[in-house]
């Protein structure tokens, strides 16, 4: 770190005693206290250090901002965006940042010196934000920190009894990891630029700093190549980004302090390349764009010298287009079948004494790495590229897990973690949140080895994701991963995280993200012409189901999914995590967890269960009219059934009875039936209802009688 001089300028601050990247005992104490010193601050990610002041800074139409110190066009743009955003968040009409009519300055942003023209890994992103009743100051070594400080300030602003305010506070902040990324797979489903832009806005809000752009796949080649136009012309169905568009997006990301790392997946995952260039494949053509999902056989032919000549030219072109120092070559999931099937390739393996197909891929990787390096870049690859004979400047992105990441670090390679951060698997935010790049195997690394773990990336693979629902697959859960990568390791209470994530989620919609409102819009399409009561019934059901997890969607499909299948079902519309089910579960935990049942909580649980029990009758008429509702009709019946079970259990609990084992077994079996996925949906309240059964059979132990 060591750039803390900026923290002292004109501000009365406490001095941090330890670096934030290497947790110390003092810092742990501080971090575990963050939750208690931040009443009502809905910051996400949580800053490294927060000191509450007294009073608050009122935000009204006289609010304005200027900058001092080093002059920077990026910062000036950021100040205007900050005001636009603050205006949306409050509804206030704020004058432009450099408005000559402004009399009294209220916020000053100071930057020490220039940042790099092409953003680099590890640049100083720290800042200090001081808010007092009279105004606010942000101070940072470079504009990168200032950008983060502005986002923190936006999150501080809340509605209060006296208007919009930011509480008095001193925040000293710096990220835990220098590489905090979001990967979006724009190849399996094409994602229009406008949607990438608003997701980059979302990344800025949660202080992520790497957009990893997955650009080629079996299902599509998404970049205009002027040297090899058949790549995009024949490999994309016309859905690709022009070079101008790409330059525009890189500039857009840079404005927000975000690097753009392109990925061209080689030598597998490459069918779409071969539609225009079958001559580089290991097997005979012709090839067509793949429409199915999965791991496929086509792969580049590592024994063909023309492949390297092509890659040299192609990567040369792309290395100019993408200015970032890192260049991702994929390298994952080569099944080797195309190599097995080609006698010439097998002969080559023998002739060069390579260790089978793995040895062949290593041979390919080495040549690829030297090409990438020749064009001035460091190569990034998925786990599979790891081999001790490769130069140490490559970066390993681990989809396999922390053990693989730790192993890379031990061998001297830098790495980033993505295992545990796959947004498409439908995990809860809490489950992602619990995954730490320094956890498990990494925790026993030496300090030097730990330095090689640069951070992590959430990954949005797009088999079941398209322009319509992608926002809801990324947000708000991605904020939990962003916090894991930015905030002190000790910040890890999931309940606190959820409370803040829900507030953030609302703010993200002001960026144009659609994760909240597209849910309702899509449900309305599913419902068709419906009465208010019918629509509410559909929503009540949809609110408590989640898509099946991990790779169960493939495994529960009645027919293999393809890129041409519509994503218009309930499973595609719902959020990947049910807030209503989680809140119900918390209520049940609270109720059954205390020795003396809380009557008000019991009443709330009862009201909820009655609503669910009676919901099915309201939904069924709609299921008769819409095939998309019909698909969830049996889940609706399940919800009614388990709600009835829950009510019976609640009766037993409230009356202090001790139902017999046969009853318990019977009810549990009903719940287990309902727990099986139907229509690729999971009914999320079932575990909490099982808890009610289990508690009912334990019997009440309340001292005071039920009111």
HSE at residue 237, side-chain half, CA atoms within 13 A, is: 16
- Comparing CA positions, the residue from 474, 561, 475, 466 lying closest to residue 187 is 466
CB of 539 to its own copies, least distance (A): 12
The stretches of 50-138 forming alpha helices (DSSP H) are: 73-90
Q: At what angle do helices 356-374 and 305-321 cross, to 10 degrees?
A: 40
Out of 489, 568, 620, 634, point to the residue binding its own copies (CB under 8 A). 568
Determine, following the binding rule CB under 8 A, whether residue 35 of this chain makes contact with its own copies: no
Segments in 18-106 forming alpha helices (H): 25-37, 73-90
Question: Is 603 among the residues that bind its own copies (CB under 8 A)?
Answer: no
Minimum distance, C-beta of residue 518 to its own copies, in the bound complex (Å) = 9
| Span interacting with its own copies, options 77-85, 91-99, 309-317, 338-346, rule CB under 8 A | 91-99
Say whether residue 600 binds its own copies (CB under 8 A).
no
Among positions 630, 656, 675, 702, the unique one binding its own copies when judged by CB under 8 A:
630
Q: Is 572 in the site for its own copies (CB under 8 A)?
A: yes
The least CB distance from residue 508 to its own copies, in Å, is 10
Min CB(690)–its own copies separation in Å? 23
Q: Which is nearer to its own copies, 4 or 233 (CB)?
A: 233
Other CB atoms within a 10 A radius of the CB of residue 279 amount to 12
Of 92, 193, 561, 670, the one binding its own copies by CB under 8 A: 92
Per the CB < 8 A criterion, the answer to whether 108 and 67 are in contact is: yes
Instruction: State which residue, 70 or 88, has the beta carbon closest to its own copies.
Output: 88
Buried b / exposed e along 539-565 (16+ C-beta atoms within 10 A): bbbbbbbbbbeeeebeebeeeebebeb
| Catalytic residue flag (residue 483) | no
The DSSP annotation for 201-264 comes to HHHHHTT--EEEEE-EETTEE-B--SSSTHHHHHHSTT--B-HHHHHHHHHHHHHTT-EEEEEE
Query: Among 12, 54, 389, 532, which residue interacts with its own copies (rule: CB under 8 A)?
Result: 532
Q: Which helix (H) or strand (E) holds 630?
A: helix 627-630
If binding means CB under 8 A, how many residues of this protein chain bind its own copies?
A: 50
Q: Say whether residue 627 binds its own copies (CB under 8 A).
A: yes
Rounded-to-integer distance, Cα 225 and Cα 212, Å: 19
For residue 330, the minimal CB distance to its own copies (Å) is: 26
Residue tagged active-site, from 76, 123, 313, 333: 333
Q: E strands along 115-194, which residues?
A: 127-132, 135-140, 158-160, 163-173, 179-185
Q: How far is the CB of 503 from its own copies (least distance, A)?
A: 5
Which of these segments, 76-84, 206-214, 501-509, 645-653, binds its own copies (CB under 8 A)? 501-509
> What is the x/- site pattern for its own copies, positions 446-465, by CB under 8 A?
--------------------
**Cα–Cα distance, 595 to 636 (Å, whole number):** 33
Residue 684 to residue 545: CA distance in whole angstroms: 5
In three-state secondary structure terms, 330 is: strand
Pick from 520, 596, 599, 603 the residue near its own copies by CB under 8 A.
Answer: 520
Q: Does 16 bind its own copies (CB under 8 A)?
A: no
**End-to-end Cα distance, the chain:** 59
Q: What is the per-residue DSSP string for 588-611?
A: HHHHHHSSS--HHHHHHHHHHHHH
Q: Which residue from 626, 680, 686, 690 is in contact with its own copies, where contact means CB under 8 A?
A: 626
In the complex, least distance from residue 233 CB atom to its own copies, rounded to whole angstroms:
14
Q: Fill in the DSSP letter of residue 372.
A: H
If one asks whether residue 517 binds its own copies (CB under 8 A), the answer comes out as yes
Is residue 431 a contact partner of residue 469, using CB atoms and an 8 Å limit?
no
Q: Which helix (H) or strand (E) holds 683?
A: strand 681-683
Determine if 705 is a binding residue for its own copies (CB under 8 A).
Answer: no
| Residue 269 vs residues 265, 279, 391, 580: alpha-carbon distances, Å | 6, 16, 24, 39
Q: How far is the CB of 326 from its own copies (least distance, A)?
A: 34
Beta-strand pair 163-173/158-160: antiparallel
Residues 6+ apart with CB under 8 A from 320: none
Structure tokens at 334: 């080569």
Question: CA 220: distance to chain centroid?
Answer: 23
- Our finding on whether 84 is near its own copies (CB under 8 A) is no
Is 292 an interacting residue with respect to its own copies (CB under 8 A)? no
Taking the least distance from each CB to its own copies, the nearer of 120 and 194 is 194
Q: Which of 509, 554, 654, 694 binds its own copies (CB under 8 A)?
A: 509
Least separation in angstroms between residue 582's CB and its own copies is 11
* Residue 307 touches its own copies, criterion: CB under 8 A: no
Report, in Å, the least distance between residue 516 CB and its own copies. Answer: 8
Nearer residue to its own copies within complex by CB, 1 or 61? 61
Nearer to its own copies, 386 or 633 (CB): 633
Q: Select from 47-55, 504-512, 546-554, 646-654 the region that touches its own copies (CB under 8 A).
A: 504-512
Q: CB nearer to its own copies: give 346 or 516.
A: 516
| Residue 551 or 627 with smaller CB distance to its own copies | 627
Nearest Cα to Cα of residue 66 among 7, 137, 115: 137
Q: How far is CA 338 from the centre of its chain?
A: 34
How many whole angstroms separate alpha carbon 444 and alpha carbon 450? 9
Residue 471 interacts with its own copies (CB under 8 A)? no
| Cβ(181)–Cβ(62) below 8 Å | no
Q: Which of residues 93-122 bind its own copies (CB under 8 A)?
A: 93, 96
Q: Which is nearer to its own copies, 343 or 566 (CB)?
A: 566
From 3, 106, 113, 579, residue interacting with its own copies (rule: CB under 8 A):
579
| Residue among 100, 117, 161, 343 that touches its own copies (CB under 8 A) | 161
* 89 touches its own copies by CB under 8 A: yes
Q: Which of 1, 118, 159, 251 binds its own copies (CB under 8 A)?
A: 159
Which residue, 451 or 562, is less far from its own copies as judged by CB? Answer: 562
- Tokens (6 digits) for 115: 């940042």
**516 touching its own copies, by CB under 8 A:** yes
Query: Which among 537, 569, 548, 557 is positioned nearest to 639, based on CA atoms?
Result: 537
- The span of 12-20, 349-357, 527-535, 546-554 binding its own copies (CB under 8 A) equals 527-535
Nearest distance, CB of residue 293 and its own copies, angstroms: 15
Q: Does residue 624 belong to the site contacting its own copies (CB under 8 A)?
A: yes
Which span (115-123, 263-271, 490-498, 567-575) binds its own copies, by CB under 8 A? Answer: 567-575
- Cβ pair 547, 680 in contact under 8 A: yes
- Among 36, 103, 162, 448, which residue interacts with its own copies (rule: CB under 8 A)? 162
Distance (Å, rounded) from C-alpha 23 to C-alpha 128? 20
Smallest distance, its own copies to C-beta of residue 475, A: 14
188-198 CB burial, b ≥16 within 10 A, e <16: bbbbeeebbbb
Q: Residue 620, interface with its own copies (CB under 8 A)?
A: no
For 678, which DSSP code?
A: B
Task: Report phi then psi at 342, rounded to 5.
Answer: -110, 105
Active site residues: 333
The footprint of its own copies (CB under 8 A) covers 40, 42, 61, 88-93, 96, 158-163, 238, 468, 499, 503, 506, 509-510, 516-517, 520-522, 524-529, 532, 564-568, 572, 579-580, 583, 624-628, 630
């Amino acid at each position: 770190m060591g750039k803390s001089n900026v923290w002292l300028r004109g501000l009365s601050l406490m001095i941090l005693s330890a670096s934030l990247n290497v947790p110390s005992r003092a810092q742990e104490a501080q971090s575990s206290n963050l939750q208690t010193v931040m009443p009502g601050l809905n910051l996400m990610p949580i800053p490294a250090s927060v000191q509450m002041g007294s009073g608050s800074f009122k935000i009204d139409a006289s609010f304005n901002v200027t900058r001092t110190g080093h002059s920077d066009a990026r910062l000036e743009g950021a100040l205007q965006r900050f005001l636009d955003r603050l205006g949306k968040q409050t509804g206030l009409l704020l004058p432009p940042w450099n408005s000559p009519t402004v009399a009294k300055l209220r916020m000053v942003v100071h930057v020490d010196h220039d940042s790099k023209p092409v953003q680099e890994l590890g640049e100083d992103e720290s800042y200090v934000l001081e808010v007092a009743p009279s105004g606010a100051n942000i101070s940072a070594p470079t504009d990168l920190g200032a950008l983060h400080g502005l986002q923190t300030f936006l999150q501080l602003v809340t509605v209060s009894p006296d208007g919009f305010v930011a509480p008095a506070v001193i925040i000293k902040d710096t990220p835990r990891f220098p590489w905090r990324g979001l990967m979006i797979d724009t190849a399996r489903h094409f994602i229009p630029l406008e949607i990438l832009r608003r997701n980059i806005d979302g990344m800025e809000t949660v202080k992520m700093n790497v957009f990893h752009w997955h650009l080629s796949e079996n299902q599509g080649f998404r970049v205009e190549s002027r040297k090899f136009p058949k790549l995009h012309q024949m490999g994309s169905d016309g859905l690709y980004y022009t070079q101008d568009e790409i330059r525009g997006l890189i500039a857009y990301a840079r404005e927000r302090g975000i690097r753009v790392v392109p990925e061209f997946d080689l030598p597998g995952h490459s069918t779409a390349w071969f539609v225009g260039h079958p001559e580089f494949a290991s097997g005979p053509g012709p090839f067509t764009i793949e429409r199915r999902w999965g791991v496929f056989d086509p792969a580049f032919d590592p024994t063909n010298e023309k492949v390297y000549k092509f890659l040299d030219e192609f990567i040369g072109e792309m290395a100019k287009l993408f200015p970032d120092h890192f260049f991702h070559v994929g390298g994952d999931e080569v099944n080797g079948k195309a190599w097995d099937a080609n006698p010439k390739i097998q002969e080559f393996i023998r002739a060069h004494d390579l260790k089978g197909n793995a040895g062949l891929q290593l041979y390919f990787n080495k040549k690829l790495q030297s090409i990438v390096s020749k064009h001035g870049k460091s190569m990034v690859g998925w786990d599979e590229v790891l081999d001790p004979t490769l130069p140490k400047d490559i970066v390993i992105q681990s989809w396999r897990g922390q053990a693989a990441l730790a192993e890379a670090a031990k061998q001297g390679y830098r790495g980033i973690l993505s295992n545990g951060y796959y947004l498409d698997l439908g995990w809860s935010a809490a489950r992602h949140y619990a995954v730490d790049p320094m956890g498990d195997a990494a925790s026993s690394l030496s300090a030097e080895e730990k330095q090689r773990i640069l951070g992590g990336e959430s990954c949005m693979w797009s088999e079941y994701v398209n322009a319509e629902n992608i926002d809801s697959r990324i947000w708000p859960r991605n904020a939990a991963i962003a916090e894991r990568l930015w905030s002190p390791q000790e910040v890890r209470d999931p309940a606190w995280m959820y409370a803040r994530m829900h507030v953030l989620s609302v703010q993200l919609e002001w960026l144009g993200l659609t994760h909240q409102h597209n849910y309702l819009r899509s449900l309305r399409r599913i419902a068709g012409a419906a009465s208010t009561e019918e629509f509410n019934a559909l929503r009540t059901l949809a609110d408590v189901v989640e898509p099946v997890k991990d790779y169960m969607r493939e495994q529960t499909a009645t027919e293999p999914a393809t890129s041409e299948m519509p994503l218009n079902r309930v499973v595609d519309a719902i959020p990947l995590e049910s807030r209503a089910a989680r809140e119900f579960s918390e209520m049940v935990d609270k109720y059954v967890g205390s020795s003396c049942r809380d009557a008000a909580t019991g009443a709330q649980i009862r009201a909820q269960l009655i609503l669910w029990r009676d919901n099915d009758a309201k939904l069924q008429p709609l299921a008769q009219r819409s095939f998309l509702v019909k698909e969830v009709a049996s889940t609706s019946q399940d919800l009614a059934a388990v709600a009835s079970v829950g009510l019976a259990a609640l009766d037993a609990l409230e009356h202090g009875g001790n139902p017999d084992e046969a009853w318990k077994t019977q009810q549990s079996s009903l719940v287990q039936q309902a727990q099986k996925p139907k229509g690729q949906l999971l009914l999320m309240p079932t575990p909490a209802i099982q808890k009610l059964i289990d508690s009912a059979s334990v019997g009440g132990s309340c001292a005071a009688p039920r009111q």
